[in-house]
Structure 1
């Protein structure tokens, strides 16, 4: 089943070019009418400014005391040494949907999933039917966060919607698993069936030599064929790696995959699941702390629909929990927020991360205008919410809410898609021990093994 590129998650609401600018410290934004659990405190909010104003905030990556925030118009870098007072260090104007970010060894990787006139940050939109159009991965040197330098670009056949970093064992290179989808017979560089992923190898000493080194086929049988409610598989949306166990979970439109990544240039499918009854679009994945479970998100409606209503119900637009037994995925249950949202609030399962609590499986997850939820899936069959934050519907009505909400070194960070970069704290005996886990770097799609 073919569907047009109309999902909010996929459209390129891009702006003009601005200068690299430095910002000032964040200010609190009143949460008039917000509903929340008693264990959640809103610490700070930094509204979009400068060249990113009017863009869409997307993903977040972390290194040391710095956060990197993607935006359809570029990216921003924040000092989060004091989570209650994040300070904007710099912004880079570099339009290109959807500008998901990751960081590694002083390099920042940026996904461009909209057809552009060239690979520069001064490019303009250009039809993908034109052979010379460009989409792919941009690489920046961010060792000096006040002066990021654009150093390389790698074109990929269908652009780069999201990407996942997998360091090689010797730490001389990093592999970038590139996810993209929606091929079209009129696109010279993105022809159907797009049954593969592209793998980019980046030599750390010479990142300008980054190049596609493999394009393994994951769906030799074509993948999920589509249904009245579910997308046919024509690529992957997102991949989450768990390098400590040499596995990855790939969310691929109509399919959920478990991959063996022990040989990074030759990933192999070791299990595959489908859910024609309830899943529309396999969107992303999160492992638990020891890699014995994985949850997959279903982005029903593409992020732009009101999917948290009684009419939609508890099993659609939800998160599915799987145990991993003998390298096989075993479905256990669905999780979805129970606070019904209004019909003018876009709400669906979206990006989240684990909160590292030894002996428990707890994560925080974004639900767009459904806010975010902290929930426990230690009992895979009986997940339960233990915290939340939820603003009233936007006035006037429109797209908004939290795109990504992640836990990092004692605080919760969220990208309110059309407003701000927000910081929260959870104070709860069930999660307090997580603050003792300190990471030097976090790309949520490259999960560390906290224990196991």
Structure 2
């Protein structure tokens, strides 16, 4: 079903609940809550596609909805994150069907009819899933072309044939990806969860977040690792970081539990990593410790700059980050899927926006909440759900795009970061949107159940 964006609404997508395997994830590894990522309650599921919007998103409409191909007969893989590069979409895969769904490559020559033309990273390591993929054009003495980095996580860390970390592929010809190398993290952790690929001149770096690496390796490896992949065949770790040694952090640590100055005990682990355009600053999402900012301009001499902080009544859950306004504004999404917790506000996860002109002292400008944020059931058994929390952020110009599981994709005007305004939403039928990626000509959304969604502009009629 197609529709156009209407005044004063938001961009959103949705999906059916996937039949994924029950696995434990970064945010609940050491906790007492274990639900399937993307799991939703029945009252969140809508069979109606909604597309609404105003301002610069009013002409966006769904032009394509493409399921993933079955690469093994009778096995349906679920979609994870999405990325685009040079007219091709790259979608990671989640755990449904036993994982090993690899990265799917779609030719977007005709965005209204994307063609899945290749799959890679699906057979390299058994018992794994390939969530995150980033693609960049690089030029070094060892490699010239388009380089893809893919996160690898284990379904069972006790499987002797499995291992986690990240894979590197040559996708210069997207129709024929070629494996270049693999970087392995400590065997006991589940692997690299989220990551980012950046360049510093002719140097190529991967920022890898491997939650609980410090815990499971007894301090031999850290949650955040900065890896030189200038030669993709020979990844080399340059630096690793864990905040427990920072004098700048008040309070004390007991393993992965931070005893904050306000008396609360909070979880702290590295969930995601992101870098600015010139690869000089890293933004690490460290859950209840906030977003940590590191100067990585000299990878051999990394320096701590600052971090965001939460109010005492806020669950932290710093999940992912994005930048706006030339890197002077930080977008922080918080994945809170347990809205009722003693001592905290009753709320699902929402977005926070910071002024980071002074990176040593991030200043909160605003908080953006959707209609789902405080839509909390009175029934405790229906409260725990991923369906109503924000997930990942992307920015193009003055528009912030947020993936929101059952809430689809939301478009937010951040021309004035102190006063964000929702200007669009796209919620496909049975939405379960994991990721969103924006380009000048289209918006891509990855739906865990139904595959790749493509929203395209039609500036003539908006139909």
Normalized against structure 2, the TM-score is what?
A: 0.72
Choose the corresponding residue for 2:445, options 409, 414, 431. Answer: 414
Q: 1:32 to 1:342 in 2, by over 3 A?
A: farther
Task: For 1:212-361, list aligned pairs within 5 A.
Answer: 212-221=237-246, 222=253, 225=258, 231-234=266-269, 236-244=270-278, 246-255=280-289, 256-275=291-310, 276-301=312-337, 316-327=348-359, 328-338=361-371, 346-356=387-397, 361=398
Q: CA deviation at 1:364?
A: 1.0
Is 1:166 aligned with 2:198? yes
Q: CA deviation at 1:381?
A: 2.7
Q: For residues 230 and 368 of structure 1, what CA distance do their matches in structure 2 show? A: 28
Map of 1:191 onto structure 2: 218
Map of 1:367 onto structure 2: 404
Map of 1:71 onto structure 2: 93
Map of 2:228 onto structure 1: 201
Conserved? CA contact 1:136–1:154, under 8 Å: yes
Map of 2:140 onto structure 1: none
Mean Cα displacement is larger for which, 279-288 or 31-40? 31-40
Map of 2:80 onto structure 1: 58
Q: 1:238 to 1:208 in 2, by over 3 A?
A: same
Conserved? CA contact 1:245–1:291, under 8 Å: no
Q: For residues 439 and 164 of structure 2, what CA distance do their matches in structure 1 show? A: 31
For residues 337-370 of structure 1, the C-alpha deviation after alignment (integer angstroms, 9 at most, x for no partner) is 12576867712111121122xxxx3111100011
Q: For residues 271 and 307 of structure 2, what CA distance do their matches in structure 1 show? A: 15
Q: CA deviation at 1:103?
A: 1.3
Q: CA deviation at 1:195?
A: 5.1
Q: For residues 126 and 245 of structure 1, what CA distance do their matches in structure 2 show? A: 32
Q: For residues 97 and 126 of structure 1, what CA distance do their matches in structure 2 show? A: 12
Conserved? CA contact 1:163–1:178, under 8 Å: yes
Conserved? CA contact 1:162–1:178, under 8 Å: yes
Q: For residues 75 and 133 of structure 1, what CA distance do their matches in structure 2 show? A: 18
Q: For residues 274 and 419 of structure 1, what CA distance do their matches in structure 2 show? A: 37
SS at match of 1:244: coil
For residues 204-233 of structure 1, the C-alpha deviation after alignment (integer angstroms, 9 at most, x for no partner) is xx4211222322344414587168997411
SS at match of 1:134: coil
Conserved? CA contact 2:348–2:372, under 8 Å: no
SS at match of 2:205: strand
Q: 1:226 to 1:62 in 2, by over 3 A?
A: farther
Task: For 1:52-131, list aligned pairs within 5 A.
Answer: 54-72=76-94, 73-92=101-120, 93-94=122-123, 96-105=128-137, 106-114=146-154, 125-127=156-158
Q: 1:143 to 1:282 in 2, by over 3 A?
A: same
For residues 249-295 of structure 1, the C-alpha deviation after alignment (integer angstroms, 9 at most, x for no partner) is 22111122122121134332211222142233110011103111111
For residues 397-423 of structure 1, the C-alpha deviation after alignment (integer angstroms, 9 at most, x for no partner) is xxx611011211321000001211000
Q: For residues 78 and 302 of structure 2, what CA distance do their matches in structure 1 show? A: 32
Q: CA deviation at 1:428?
A: 8.3
Mean Cα displacement is larger for which, 57-66 or 339-348? 339-348
Q: 1:98 to 1:282 in 2, by over 3 A?
A: farther
Conserved? CA contact 2:200–2:279, under 8 Å: no
Is 1:404 aligned with 2:435? yes
Task: For 1:126-137, list aligned pairs within 5 A.
Answer: 126-127=157-158, 134-137=163-166
Conserved? CA contact 1:298–1:319, under 8 Å: yes
Q: For residues 58 and 265 of structure 1, what CA distance do their matches in structure 2 show? A: 33
For residues 141-165 of structure 1, the C-alpha deviation after alignment (integer angstroms, 9 at most, x for no partner) is 2222222222311111242111111
Which structure has the higher relative contact order (CA within 8 Å, separation 6+)? 2
Task: For 1:19-58, list aligned pairs within 5 A.
Answer: 33-38=48-53, 39=58, 40-51=60-71, 54-58=76-80
Mean Cα displacement is larger for which, 216-225 or 93-102? 216-225
Q: CA deviation at 1:32?
A: 5.3
Aligned Cα root-mean-square deviation (Å): 3.3
Q: For residues 135 and 371 of structure 1, what CA distance do their matches in structure 2 show? A: 30
Q: For residues 234 and 214 of structure 2, what CA distance do their matches in structure 1 show? A: 29
Q: For residues 426 and 346 of structure 2, what CA distance do their matches in structure 1 show? A: 19
Is 1:149 aligned with 2:184? no
Choose the corresponding residue for 1:376, options 413, 424, 434. Answer: 413
Count of residue pairs the alignment pairs up:
375
